[in-house]
Amino acid sequence: MTQHTYRRRSSFSLEQLLQIPGIRLLLFYILPFLVINGLIFFLVTAKPKYELTVGETHDYQTTDITFSITSHMPLKTVTITMDSQPLDLVMTGNKTYQATISKNGILEIYMENFNGMAIYGYEMIDILDNESPDLTSYQVENGVLTFTVSDSQSGVDFDSIHGTTDSGQTVEPLSVDRSSSTVQFQLGSQGLTVSIKDMSGNEYLPHFSVTEAADTDNDPSTQETEVYLQ
């Protein structure tokens, strides 16, 4: 008959574990030292954290920004300015704020924790249309003014283009070609100020006038044009 011998595994109690050389030192001195000093280091060096989201614009005139504080440390100071002017922030959630922006510029964020650690942040806002359309070319031939316009953001409002003579008479364009952004006006002896707007309402007012210059070779008088921006 085969005889089996069973051995009972011995287990260490806490008291026995503490009798092992170095364990008591590790548990009661080294680990607490590391934990406490690590916590102190974190409290002293922790910097503020945030998230800033710039929304899309549907009219090129305004956009919303969302500012969220993501750090858990108590804050001493939080300021958000644009062109040195404070923003009107509205709380929309826990540590979340929102503001409406109506012009392009640079957002400046300053945050300081209670421990004195601070950060500076910057965000460029450039999606709004604060600029008027551009006059890319022009010419006058046989009394007809032809020019092309462009607008890289909201686009040219071709329906609103009209002219005004120096005497105050309103003049409608002879033709408007939207595909080539070309507009034609009849230009007489009176000067003509043309109103060119984009879809955001920004207006450009170039002034066209015709001046006569005699040719020294006794040829018929020629006409030269000059553009004045207002």
d(C-alpha 97, C-alpha 89), whole Å: 6
Residues 61, 94 share a domain = yes
Last residue of a domain, one of 99, 125, 151: 125
Domain range for 175: 134-229
CATH number of the domain residue 184 falls in: 2.60.40
Nearest to 210 by CA among 188, 185, 194, 195: 188
Residues 107, 79 share a domain = yes
Q: CB neighbours of 224 closer than 8 A, spacing ≥ 6?
A: 210, 211, 212, 213
- Convert the pLDDT of each residue in 134-166 to its tens digit: 999 998 888 899 999 999 889 999 999 999 998
Is 5 a member of any domain? no
Residues 148, 64 share a domain = no
Number of structural domains found in the chain: 2
Is 160 a member of any domain? yes
Is 9 a member of any domain? no
- The pTM for the full model equals 0.65
CATH number of the domain residue 100 falls in: 2.60.40.10
Residues 193, 120 share a domain = no
The pLDDT value recorded for residue 17 is 62
Is 36 a member of any domain? no
Number of other residues whose CB lies within 10 A of the CB of residue 145: 22
DSSP 201: -
Is it the case that residue 214 has pLDDT exceeding 60? no
